[in-house]
Amino acid sequence: MAGHVALKTHASARPIASNTEPAWVRWTLITISLLFLTLVLFMPLLLVFVYAFGQGLGTFFAAFTEPDARSAIRLTLITAAIAVPLNTLFGVAAAWAIAKFNFKGKNVLITLIDLPFAISPVIAGLIFVILFGARGWLGPWLIENDIRIIFATPGIVLATLFVTFPFVARELIPLMQAQGTEEEQSALTLGANGWQTFWRVTLPNIKWGLLYGVILCNARAMGEFGAVSVVSGHIRGQTNTMPLHIEILYNDYQTTASFAVASLLALLAVVTLVVKSLVEWKITRDHIVAGRESGESIQ
């Protein structure tokens, strides 16, 4: 599972007083951690927003009025609007089959779902060039029939689909496995049909995990750079997504404009993290409430 970190669904343990270090050791370790995170995470994030707004709001908004920026935003939205629903549908179907049933080869299937995580985004792009590129398997046939996939929107959508393929499935599988099948069995016993069981029992149980999976998948779909840059061809106003537009502006020394566009994607990333924290808090709380209701001791 190279590339995945599941949601935390339980509260952390409280340290026992005797098992701790002297105060100077504690504060040294905390300082080292904060310093390290500041150098590689906090400062780059802060820098994006400072550079985006550094020349004032007028320059910031000017970055979005030029036609190339608008077409890049439009293409990014179109790509995400296709890739996210398809991968969500796949994620729910795969999680239902894997978490609610027992069959042979389940672990192999889970590993295969993770496969796109282990593949470099550049290789993901390469795969589609080999299939559809001018000198690829279907290239001559596509040229004859005047169908464009590489250096056009379909290639960008395919590469994004491939790269964001596992995200929803990987959030839902552990969550649904932990929930078991008892509630669904009760619903069926009480006369619900399959769809009713799914909509009224399963979906309410997984909605928070699903929400996070969808939002993470969306952030990755909108931000994908490597795979898309292989298949896009960088045609301004046509095949540039937001990350590619950032690259072009940055290489043109239009620093403020490139950070302005980057700040939108950085904001999306921050929102994703906030949603993740909320979802973890929700799931932990539901877990504790459920524990209380069934009379389990929380300790």
Binders of another protein among residues 229 to 288 (CB under 8 A) are 229-230, 243-244, 246-247, 250, 255, 258-259, 262, 265-266, 268-270, 272-274, 276-277
For residue 136, state whether it binds another protein (rule: CB under 8 A).
Answer: yes
Minimum CB distance to another protein smaller for 135 or for 295: 135
Nearer to another protein, 112 or 293 (CB): 112
- Please state the φ and ψ torsions of residue 57, each to the nearest 5 degrees: -65, -35
CB of 294 to another protein, least distance (A): 22
Neighbours of 113 (CB within 10 A): 21
Q: Is 186 in the site for another protein (CB under 8 A)?
A: no
Torsion of CA 10, 16, 22, 27, to 10 degrees: 20
Work out which of 59, 96, 237, 284 binds another protein, going by CB under 8 A: 96
Stretch of 36-44, 58-66, 172-180, 283-291 lying at the interface with another protein (CB under 8 A): 36-44
Cβ atoms < 10 Å from Cβ of 141: 10
Q: Is-contact 157 77, C-beta < 8 A?
A: no
Q: Choose which of 149, 151, 156, 165 interacts with another protein (CB under 8 A).
A: 165
Q: Kindly indicate which of the ranges 6-14, 63-71, 171-179, 286-294 contains the residues binding another protein, using the contact rule CB under 8 A.
A: 6-14
Per CB under 8 A, 85 contacts another protein:
no
203-228: burial string, b at 16+ Cβ within 10 Å, e else: eeebebbbbbbbbbbbbbbbbbbebb
Residue pair 95/201 in contact (Cβ under 8 Å)? The answer is no
Residues 94/168, Cβ–Cβ less than 8 Å: no
Binding another protein by CB under 8 A: which of 155, 223, 232, 257?
223
Angle formed at CA 151 by CA 147 and CA 153, multiple of 5 degrees: 75
Phi (first) and psi of residue 47, to 5 degrees: -60, -40
Residues sharing a CB contact under 8 Å with residue 218, sequence separation 6 or more, in sequence order? 80, 84, 268
Site string for another protein, 49-78 (x = CB under 8 A): --x---------------------------
Q: How far is the CB of 204 from another protein (least distance, A)?
A: 17
Nearer to another protein, 1 or 81 (CB): 1
Q: Nearest approach, Cβ of 255 to another protein (angstroms)?
A: 7
Number of residues that bind another protein (CB under 8 A): 112
